[in-house]
């Protein structure tokens, strides 16, 4: 079995809906330009507040993908 | 543009529904007494278990707001 | 009042649905063999990606329970 | 059961006696102005040295209390 | 000399007396069911407050013990 | 010598000039409403970028002050 | 596909040979009593020195295994 | 309002002048090839010493920028 | 002397042989597409277990390289 | 007022009595060879267990002292 | 090329002027007694406040130097 | 049994061979001038890259030794 090498990039997804949607937006966007995404790790969850309510959730994830040999 | 100063307070919201509801409860409560809330950062997610099920979610957030000049 | 002693174990729940479901799966499984679960603390949220979408969420929690005297 | 919201404040107690006394001083002082204190978490233990001996212990705790609805 | 393998478990002792008593309670309880305890490391010190005073100290320790070959 | 108790608050100063100015702004603002400020600890340095240049520095500090007996 | 739940335990392997041998000893010992080991994470590397040379390497790993349904 | 996705990259600027200049150099260089830089966070400050004096400051920042849809 | 700017990327090398081989694989792969690699920092060491033995070591490193002016 | 420079050293005190005694032993020993000790910070609390009881407490502190000009 | 060994010491410089001056004071003082200083890493930035203004900056750095063979 | 006091120093060993050799070099060098070395803890592993290959490994360890009474 070959010895794969992976790269991890750090991206922040935002969403007015919630944490999970913000993560899915981030990964969907990454999948447009990077093939072979394998895993993600949540590193920070925060958001903006407007008028006393959460306007945007912002979730930062590290996303790993396999580099081609 | 003026040089704003912000204060961050740490509050814990609880909810029997879930993480997001606990955060929204915390921010709704803070908005009752603090004006001009701007952002939040999740710092801890935990909860109580009763009878083998999650009874309450407890999410601690730091909330930032602008101080008036 | 007696001086209780608690043990904390670290378990990882997985789910194709989301973060909350993964945590509930982990706690439901722990409740099968451990009585008197009291609280949990989320320590890591990550997941696997397949075909550019999240296939499984994996959430690691520490779960505390009372030891009998 | 209502969904309580808690606030955590960070205070540093000092004592010439020891760690435990410094924490108790901090909590006693907080109890003068804040009602419904619920829990504390030790975040830092340090102190001043004079003449080769510990002159003051300084222990920083986060203290949580329930916010009224 | 054989290459020992150790296991570390995480337990939380409580006490109305203080930090040291809480740790000793935790270790005494662990010693009832685990033989050959070797060392401990304090990982968290916290407690509950009632009526403006500390009602219980809660100290979490990791305890290491040798596994039999 | 009395056993003082200190409170630490977390504030974020901003400045278009630099790190030091942002910290000084934060402390000057805190000094308007809190007496007896004693020390500060830098906890985060960040900023906004506009047009490829730093528009605002944002430095978060914890500021300690003595509580009156 | 079922939603697996995993447990993570923390074990310390020792070896007079080196880091890798200490980890392999720890995992070999765990495999004697736990089935279905899946992954490990190194959390601490240390050791004892005698006569100015390393006498034992001690490497602590978290080891994850699947819990049966 | 669309749900933006941001990428964070980690760069280290150096300067013989000081911390602020090292950060500005890092951001100026990033702005040459990346459009729409939005914010930065300082993650490490260090430097080289020659002849008992600081020869180069080296400051590592994470820089966030918006990904085009 | 010019003020160099460096970029740090995070990559994970795998190997069935050991830690050092996993790191060397990661760096050899990075060197195929990035010139002027300067330094690396180990950030995580983990691996997969199959049949009670380590099947793959996975070591994550940050790798720094000079950006051309 | 001159700009003092301080050095911090890391020492571990042990005691069969408890945490506070271990810290006091460490500082008393440091005071034998270093003048002008100013402050300490606790960085780790651990200990050895023999026969199911704590045999020695081991507390690591950083101790700061003023360097002469 | 020989395999150098370096020692890192932790020192705190103070200054009424600012962060950079405090670091330079620390390194200048270290250079009086230690030869072959090579690099430094900032580990903590704090200071004292008097009369609502920063009276002294206190910056702790780790400084590395080569040990002679 | 006397209450020993230990000092911990931080040293960085380098090696063109690998991690283990770098640690052994560091400890061998420390043993030249410090008697009664007892234990070490790895705190950082990094290295320099030249021509796409690892030229030097640099491993930082804390080393503890007993202070004479």
pLDDT (tens digit per residue) in B17-64: 999 999 999 999 999 999 899 999 999 999 999 999 999 999 999 999
Provide the percentage of residues in chain H whose pLDDT is more than 70. 97
For residue A69, the tally of other CB atoms under 10 A from its CB is 9
Q: Chains meeting I at 3+ CB pairs closer than 8 A?
A: A, G, H, L
Give the per-residue pLDDT at G48. 98
Give the per-residue pLDDT at F69. 77
Kindly state the tokens that stand for D14: 């000092």
Question: Cα–Cα distances in Å, from K20 out to K15, K45, L24?
Answer: 9, 11, 36
Q: Does the ipTM surpass 0.90?
A: yes
pLDDT-derived band at G2 (thresholds 50, 70, 90) equals low
Contacts of K7 in chain L (CB under 8 A): 9-12
Helix (H, G, I), strand (E, B) or coil at C22: helix
Contacts of A37 in chain I (CB under 8 A): none
Question: Cα–Cα distances in Å, from J54 out to E16, E59, I28?
Answer: 19, 15, 50
In this predicted structure, the answer to whether residue L1 has a pLDDT above a threshold of 60 is no
Give the per-residue pLDDT at C3. 81
Q: Nearest CA of chain E to the CA of J61: how many Å? A: 14
pLDDT-derived band at H51 (thresholds 50, 70, 90) equals very high
CB pairs < 8 Å spanning B and F: 36
Q: Which residue of A has its CA nearest to H67?
A: A29
Contacts of J1 in chain K (CB under 8 A): 16, 56
Beta strands in chain A (DSSP E): 5-15, 37-50, 53-66
Q: Which residue of I has its CA nearest to A67?
A: I29
Q: Would you call F37 and K45 a contact, using CB atoms and an 8 Å cutoff?
A: no
Helix (H, G, I), strand (E, B) or coil at L21: helix
Give the per-residue pLDDT at D10. 98
Residues of C with CB under 8 A from a CB of E: 1, 3-10, 62, 64, 67, 69
d(CA E50, CA E66): 39
Q: Would you call I12 and A3 a contact, using CB atoms and an 8 Å cutoff?
A: no
**DSSP assignment of chain G, as one string?**
----EEEEEEEEEEESS-HHHHHHHHHHHHHHH-S-EEEEEEEEEEEEEETTEEEEEEEEEEEEEEPP-
Q: Which residue of A has its CA nearest to B38?
A: A49
The pair phi, psi for residue C10, each rounded to 5°, is: -110, 120
Q: Nearest CA of chain F to the CA of H21: how many Å? A: 10
Interface present between B and G (3 or more CB pairs within 8 Å): no
Q: Chains meeting E at 3+ CB pairs closer than 8 A?
A: C, D, G, J
Q: Would you call B54 and C27 a contact, using CB atoms and an 8 Å cutoff?
A: yes
Helix (H, G, I), strand (E, B) or coil at I28: helix
Contacts of J66 in chain K (CB under 8 A): none
Helix (H, G, I), strand (E, B) or coil at L6: strand
**Mutation for H interface: F45, F50, F51, F58, most H CBs within 10 A:** F45
In this predicted structure, the answer to whether residue A2 has a pLDDT above a threshold of 80 is no
d(CA B43, CA B16): 19
In this predicted structure, the answer to whether residue H3 has a pLDDT above a threshold of 90 is no
Q: Nearest CA of chain I to the CA of G65: how many Å? A: 9
Q: Nearest CA of chain J to the CA of L9: how many Å? A: 7
Q: Which residue of B has its CA nearest to C63?
A: B49
Helix (H, G, I), strand (E, B) or coil at C26: helix
Its pTM stands at: 0.96
Kindly state the tokens that stand for L20: 């283990």
Query: Which residue among B1, B6, B10 places its CB closest to the CB of F12?
Result: B6
pLDDT in tens, E29-41: 999 999 899 999 9
CA angle E17, E22, E27 (to 5 degrees): 145
d(CA L59, CA L47): 8
Radius of gyration of chain I (CA): 14
Q: Which residue of J has its CA nearest to D46?
A: J41
Kindly state the tokens that stand for G46: 């240390």
On whether the CB atoms of residues E27 and E64 are closer than 8 A, the answer is no
Q: Which residue of E has its CA nearest to C1?
A: E16
Contacts of K11 in chain J (CB under 8 A): 5-8, 67
In this predicted structure, the answer to whether residue K60 has a pLDDT above a threshold of 60 is yes
């Amino acid at each position: 079995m070959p010895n794969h090498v992976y790269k991890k990039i750090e991206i922040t997804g935002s969403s007015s809906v919630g944490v999970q949607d913000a993560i899915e937006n981030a990964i969907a966007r990454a999948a447009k330009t990077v093939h072979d995404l394998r895993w993600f790790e949540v590193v920070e969850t925060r958001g903006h507040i407007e008028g006393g309510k959460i306007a945007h959730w912002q979730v930062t994830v590290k996303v790993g993908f396999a580099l081609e040999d």
